Each structure stands twice: as structure tokens, then as C-alpha cells.
Amino acid sequence: MSTIQDVARLAAVSTATVSRYLSGEPVRASARIREVIAELGYRPSVVARGLRSGRHDTFGVVVPDVTNPFFAGVVRGIENVAGQRGVRVLLGNSDEDLTREATLVDDLSRRVDGMILAPATEHDDVPHVLASAGVPVVLLDRAVQVGGRFDSVTVDNIVGAKLAARHLLGLGHRRIATISGPLTSTPGRERHEAFLDELGAGGADLESALVEVADFREAGGRAAASRLLSLTQPPTALFVANNLMTVGALKALRALGVRVPEEVSVLGFDDLDLGALLDPPLTVIDRPTVEQGERAATVLVDRINAGAGPAVHVVLPVQLLVRQSTARPRRDPVKIIPSTPGSTTHEHPTVNTEQ
């Protein structure tokens, strides 16, 4: 492996000149240098440069779990824009564990130009951890509460949750349950509150037994769904606040032999990659996963170039994807609004019907 010294010697210039050439500064001997570099197959050492200049051409990415299709998409998006700029991605899984997350951030921060972090939950340490990182950080998906001062790329959870509520109400449901995520996280709290607000405004039951707060994980969704369907008066519709919990809920329903949407409608937040092939095809609030990663990376790039400044908050739109897991309640247990089939009109600012 040749070094900048070799190039300098063969091109008969100083290493400083080669270095300048490499960084795009105008240089007289550029033609010769270019040739020598090509001939030698010289590639500058990112490590040496990093030590000297602090630039590492690397972004750190910390997510709870790449295995979650949402985060896989995000990582892909980040890698898309990073790779395009010759920047590499250093990946860590926090497993929603605060200690692991802090360790990762600390660890990565010394060898990256910036980080993208999907915080486990919004514990009070996050700002501390981030501040100590010493590199720009953009918060992903879970950001608002903690991160006024940090750049963030989130999704319009509030509109999403309201779309969900309106869709269910519009179908005639009144006894609607929700399986929420942790209220200590932005998406957990926002989806929870917005959904219940809209439900209240729509005149639905707001019995506390219909509100389950879980953990964004499959097992949590499964357990919550089981409890809800075991109520003496079970809900006719179910809003599940993320993809993993939706999978759990669907498994619970299947295990209990509850039919969807005949006995209970199910609406999930976050599409599942196979959402359309499920039994039944799942109605969901969908969001641009890969794009969310791409935007996060773009924001990070900008921040690195621009230096300190007022925090940027990007909020991406979501849309309701109506498939077949939601339908009118079979028999409305509360018997309100005997709406005429086909006549219900609801505003769905962003609604897509697949196929």
C-alpha cells in the first residue's frame, strides 16, 4: 500500500502539495500527480487523515435493532446518501437499552463526523449523552421532547394517529381500543394522545380498559391484544401504534381465533413489508422509511457543513393505506349512528387504496 510520500516523491512535489491536490485545491502539478496516483493505485488513509484532521468520512448510526424493518429501511436510506458522498456508516444496535446506547454514542463519537440516533426512550440522559458526544447528532423518529436543541427527522405522528382514528370512526366503530407505545417516547406519546383526542372528538368510548400502553415490541403487542380481546365487552376495532406490536397483536388474534376484520378491525402504524400479503391485507398508517433515513443523513451533512445554528426539525408526512383489515363493525354493540352504507364521507387528506 503506497502512501502520500510515495506519490510526492514520484511526482517530484512535496506531500503538502499532494495533500492539497487531494482536497481539490488548485495545484500546478495536478496532471502528474493524478498519473502517479493512478499508477500506484494510491488511496489516502482515512485513519491517518482522521487522526490529523478529525474528519473521518464516517457517520455513526445507532438504532434499537436493524432487524426491525423500519430501522433497516432507515439505515438503508442513511447509507444511500452517505455512500454517495464517500461516507461510510458505523452501525450499532442499542436494543432499547439505555446503557448500551450511551456506550455506543460515546464510543462512536470519537471516530465519526456525526451521528444519527434513534434514542431508546427519552430518558433525561439523552441530552447529556448527546452533548458529550462532541459531534453533530441528528435525532431520528424519537426526538421532540428531548431534542429541541438537536436536529431531528420525525414523522407526522399526530396526523397519522388522527387519520387512523377518523378512519375507524368513519367505519362506524365506537368501541375502539389502542395499543400504544411507551409514553416516554415521542412517537409513543404523540400517537397515543392524538388518537385518543380524535376518538374523544368523534364520540367514541374512552374506557380506560380499552387503552393499553405497551413497549413497541412484539411480545407487548401480543399480550395487550390478548387482554383487550378477553374483555367482557371487547373492542370492535384496534389501533396498534407500531409495526412490531401489530405483528404481536395479529398473532394473538390468530391464536384466539378472532377473525379480522369480521370480529375486530385492526389498523397499524407503520406498514409491514408484507402488509399487502397478510391475511387479511393490513390497513396501516404508512410512512416513508428509507426516505426518513435519507433525510436524516442530509440534515446531518448540512449540519456538518454549516456548523452550529438553530436546530432543524424535519417532519415527514404519513398516509393512510386502506387495505382489508378494517371494516364496519359487524353489529354495533352501542348502536349509535346507524349510518347508511356508502354514504359516510370523511376527510382523509392523504388516503391511498392499494390495488
Q: How far is the CB of 308 from DNA (least distance, A)?
A: 18
Identity of the residue, 4 or 13, whose beta carbon is nearer to its own copies in the bound complex: 4
Per-residue binding string, its own copies, 149-188, x by CB under 8 A, is ----------------------------------------
Task: Give the torsion through C-alpha atoms of 67, 68, 71, 77, to 10 deg.
Answer: 70
- Site membership for its own copies, residue 98 (CB under 8 A): no
Instruction: Provide the pairing of β-strand 137-140 with 151-155.
Output: parallel
Task: Give the torsion through C-alpha atoms of 293, 299, 300, 306, to 10 deg.
Answer: 170
Spatial contact of 85 and 301, defined as CB atoms under 8 Å apart: yes
Identify which range of 6-14, 184-192, 221-229, 267-275 contacts DNA by CB under 7 A: 6-14
Identify which range of 44-52, 144-152, 178-186, 298-306 contacts its own copies by CB under 8 A: 44-52
Q: What are phi and psi of 26, to 5 degrees?
A: -70, 140
Q: DSSP assignment, residue 210?
A: G
- Site membership for DNA, residue 112 (CB under 7 A): no
Instruction: Provide the pairing of β-strand 151-155 with 176-180.
Output: unpaired
Asked whether the CA dihedral 290, 295, 296, 298 is positive or negative, the reply is positive
- Site membership for DNA, residue 14 (CB under 7 A): yes
Burial class (CB in 10 A: 0-12, 13-18, 19+), 304: middle
Query: 20 contacts which partner out of DNA, its own copies, none, CB within 5 to 8 A by kind?
Result: DNA
Query: 90 contacts which partner out of its own copies, DNA, none, CB within 5 to 8 A by kind?
Result: its own copies
Q: What are phi and psi of 205, to 5 degrees?
A: -60, 140
Kindly tell me which residue out of 232, 277, 331, 335 binds its own copies, with binding defined by CB under 8 A: 277
Query: 13 contacts which partner out of DNA, its own copies, none, CB within 5 to 8 A by kind?
Result: DNA
- Site membership for its own copies, residue 76 (CB under 8 A): yes
Kindly tell me which residue out of 20, 32, 34, 251 binds its own copies, with binding defined by CB under 8 A: 251
Omega into 44 within 30° of 0, i.e. cis? no
Residues that bind DNA (CB under 7 A): 1, 3-5, 12-20, 22-23, 26-29, 44-45, 48-49, 51-53
